[in-house]
């Protein structure tokens, strides 16, 4: 182990040994040296003791550190740390491990952005379980409002506050119903991610409904009573095509909005007064037979699209009708106008100024039909079959073995309900004859 005064020219003139390697130690800085292998590889080294243990550190090759002064400075730094009881080699090793861990963490963060989670959720869950129009609607909602703000972020970094701020921004622009639906779409997506341990918890869990009208109205309990149906029916006539007849049929049949709004003519046999909903369009993946009461057949027969296109309800002939929110708002306005007129006619003009229609959704028409049929004495299990509920009042072993479809009972139920609605909106004149008073 020769000891020489290392200078830049001296270092450049040193020759490689014929075999093995040789180390040249610096006279000016004890412990610092240059190692040269028989293959010509030159590496700066430094030797020191840490807590009594001899440590040999390779500072780098002359290709990476061509200047002697720079290598000597690094050696001094290591010697100083060793004198303080620190091990520069272990520190360097720990730094490399930390950098690798950080790189892996960042890679995982990039892999687990909310965008990638939503992509997986839609492909692995939604595409296999939802109808195409449902998948399209939820994807559109994510694209419009979630991805632009939260999509690029690591899902683990997204908290409740981020979700609430997203929903508050949607409410602030006057779209509270859309915020309600977006929360309903996002919450199960994040549940799905939490179940797969992509995130530790669902930041959307427990967030209250962002639509204040829905919170106040408790829409799960909302249905139209008889007095409201008396307002509803002429209001449907007032708003006209396409939502007027569509809303009337929703009330009469008790079926789901999109199942009727997207229905093609091919599913209907008006001669037999039947609507057969195929399993691919049914929410519970089962074919469903709906018996059409006479008033429903009359409404369908009068639709302007009969014999002219694929769908019952369409305004352009190629796609089903849309814009239900605006249609419902027009309906409520017409109902309110009718209510105020009746109050004025009844001499209650003061009440007319403060009159209002309690908030309801189109889904509440389905609940109105169910509640109305139950109120007419129709058995709950028959009502469940009319509504095509997967799990109804028949449970346990009976649910497994009872495959009877109650077709006759369902037909009678819808006819009874239609007669009740008909009696409300088109009351028959009394057959009681008023006798002349006694003279």
Q: What is the mean pLDDT of residues 212-232?
A: 77
Which SS3 state, helix, strand or coil, does residue 384 take? Answer: helix
CB atoms under 10 Å from CB of 356, counted, come to 9
Confidence category of residue 325, pLDDT binned at 50, 70, 90: confident
Give the burial class of 424: count Cβ atoms within 10 A of its Cβ; 0-12 exposed, 13-18 middle, 19 or more buried: middle
Confidence category of residue 94, pLDDT binned at 50, 70, 90: confident
- Given a cut of 80, whether residue 318 has pLDDT beyond it is yes
CB atoms under 10 Å from CB of 28, counted, come to 10
Q: Helix 68-83 vs helix 88-111: angle between axes, to the nearest 10 degrees?
A: 100
Q: What is the mean pLDDT of residues 156-174?
A: 92
Span(s) in the chain for CATH 3.30.160.390? 3-107
| DSSP 8-state symbol, 254 | -
Q: What is the mean pLDDT of residues 281-298?
A: 91
Confidence (pLDDT) at 429: 57
CATH class of 226-425: mainly alpha
Span(s) in the chain for CATH 1.10.443.10? 226-425
8 vs 69: CA distance, rounded Å: 8
Residue that is written with structure tokens 């109902």 in the block: 335
Look over the chain and give the mean of its residue pLDDT values, rounded to a whole number.
87
Q: Comparing 435 with 161, which gets the higher pLDDT? A: 161
At 119-163, the pLDDT tens digits run: 999 999 999 888 888 899 999 999 999 999 999 998 888 999 999
- SS3 for 119-137 is HHHHHHHHHHHCCHHHHHH
- Supply the DSSP string of 399-435, one letter for each residue: HHH-----HHHHHHHHHHHHHHHHHHHSPPPP-PPPP
- Given a cut of 50, whether residue 316 has pLDDT beyond it is yes
135 vs 322: CA distance, rounded Å: 16
Task: Report how far apart the first and last C-alpha atoms of the chain are (Å, whole number).
Answer: 146
128 vs 133: CA distance, rounded Å: 13
Nearest to 383, CA basis, from 359, 349, 412: 412
Confidence (pLDDT) at 431: 56
Q: What is the mean pLDDT of residues 276-303?
A: 92
Q: Which residues of 53-73 are buried (b: 16+ CB within 10 A; e: fewer)?
A: eebebebeebeebeebeebbe
Q: What's the CATH number for 114-217?
A: 1.10.150.130
At 300-309, the pLDDT tens digits run: 999 999 988 8
263 vs 184: CA distance, rounded Å: 25
Tokens of 159: 């908290």
Q: Comparing 281 with 273, which gets the higher pLDDT? A: 273
- Given a cut of 90, whether residue 266 has pLDDT beyond it is yes
Tokens of 420: 């009740």
Confidence (pLDDT) at 438: 42
- Given a cut of 50, whether residue 401 has pLDDT beyond it is no
Q: What is the mean pLDDT of residues 76-87?
A: 90
Tokens of 170: 């949607």
At 7-16, the pLDDT tens digits run: 999 998 999 9
Share of the chain above pLDDT 70, in %: 90
Q: What is the mean pLDDT of residues 207-212?
A: 83
Q: What is the Cα gyration radius of the chain?
A: 39
Confidence category of residue 404, pLDDT binned at 50, 70, 90: low
Confidence category of residue 104, pLDDT binned at 50, 70, 90: low
Q: Comparing 400 with 284, which gets the higher pLDDT? A: 284
At 333-378, the pLDDT tens digits run: 999 999 999 998 888 877 778 889 999 999 999 999 999 999 999 9
Q: Determine contact, residues 108/99, Cβ cutoff 8 Å.
A: no
- Between 110-114, 163-167, 401-405, the lowest mean confidence (pLDDT) is in 401-405
Span(s) in the chain for CATH 1.10.150.130? 114-217
- Given a cut of 50, whether residue 29 has pLDDT beyond it is yes
- Given a cut of 90, whether residue 96 has pLDDT beyond it is no
CB atoms under 10 Å from CB of 334, counted, come to 21
Is 3-107 in CATH node 3.30.160.390? yes
Q: What is the mean pLDDT of residues 234-256?
A: 97
What are φ and ψ of residue 37, in 5° steps?
A: -95, 165
325 vs 332: CA distance, rounded Å: 11
Confidence (pLDDT) at 257: 93
| Pairing mode, strands 21-26 and 288-291 | unpaired
239 vs 201: CA distance, rounded Å: 46
| DSSP 8-state symbol, 306 | T
Tokens of 118: 């939503």
150 vs 112: CA distance, rounded Å: 12
């Amino acid at each position: 182990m020769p000891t020489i005064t290392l200078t830049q020219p001296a270092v450049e003139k040193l020759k490689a040994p014929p075999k093995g390697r040789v180390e040249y130690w610096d006279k000016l800085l004890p412990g610092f040296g240059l190692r040269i292998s028989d293959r010509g590889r030159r590496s700066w080294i430094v030797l020191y003791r840490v807590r009594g243990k001899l440590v040999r550190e390779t500072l780098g090759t002359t290709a990476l550190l061509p200047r002697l002064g720079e290598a000597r400075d690094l050696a001094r730094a290591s010697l100083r740390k060793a004198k303080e009881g620190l091990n520069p080699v272990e520190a360097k090793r720990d730094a490399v491990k930390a950098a690798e861990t950080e790189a892996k963490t960042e890679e995982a963060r990039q892999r687990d952005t909310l965008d990638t989670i939503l992509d997986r959720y839609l492909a692995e869950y939604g595409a296999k379980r939802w109808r195409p129009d449902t998948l399209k609607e939820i994807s559109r909602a994510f694209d419009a409002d979630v991805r632009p703000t939260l999509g690029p972020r690591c899902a683990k970094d997204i908290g409740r506050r981020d979700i609430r701020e997203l929903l508050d921004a949607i409410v602030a622009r006057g779209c509270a119903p859309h915020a309600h639906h977006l929360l309903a779409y996002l919450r199960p997506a994040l549940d799905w991610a939490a179940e797969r341990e992509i995130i530790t918890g669902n930041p959307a869990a427990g967030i209250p409904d962002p639509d204040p009208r829905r919170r106040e109205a408790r829409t799960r309990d909302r249905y139209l009573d008889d007095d409201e149906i008396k307002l509803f029916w002429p209001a449907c006539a007032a708003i006209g095509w396409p939502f007027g007849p569509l809303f009337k049929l929703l009330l009469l049949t008790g079926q789901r909005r999109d199942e009727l709004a997207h229905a093609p003519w091919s599913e209907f046999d008006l001669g037999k007064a039947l609507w057969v909903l195929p399993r691919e369009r049914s929410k519970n993946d089962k074919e469903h037979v709906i018996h059409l009461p006479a008033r429903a057949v009359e409404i369908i027969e009068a639709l302007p699209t009969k014999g002219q296109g694929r769908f019952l309800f369409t305004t352009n002939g190629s796609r089903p009708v849309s814009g239900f929110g605006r249609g419902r708002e027009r309906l409520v306005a017409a109902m309110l106008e009718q209510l105020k007129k009746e109050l004025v006619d009844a001499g209650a003009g003061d009440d007319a100024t403060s009159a209002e229609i309690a908030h309801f959704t189109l889904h509440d028409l389905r609940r109105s039909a169910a509640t109305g049929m139950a109120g007419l004495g129709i058995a709950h299990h028959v009502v469940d079959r009319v509504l095509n509920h997967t799990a109804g009042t028949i449970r346990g072993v009976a649910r497994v073995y009872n495959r009877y479809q109650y077709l006759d009972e369902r037909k009678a139920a819808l006819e009874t309900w239609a007669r009740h609605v008909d009696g409300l909106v088109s009351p028959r004149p009394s057959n009681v004859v008023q006798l002349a008073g006694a003279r």
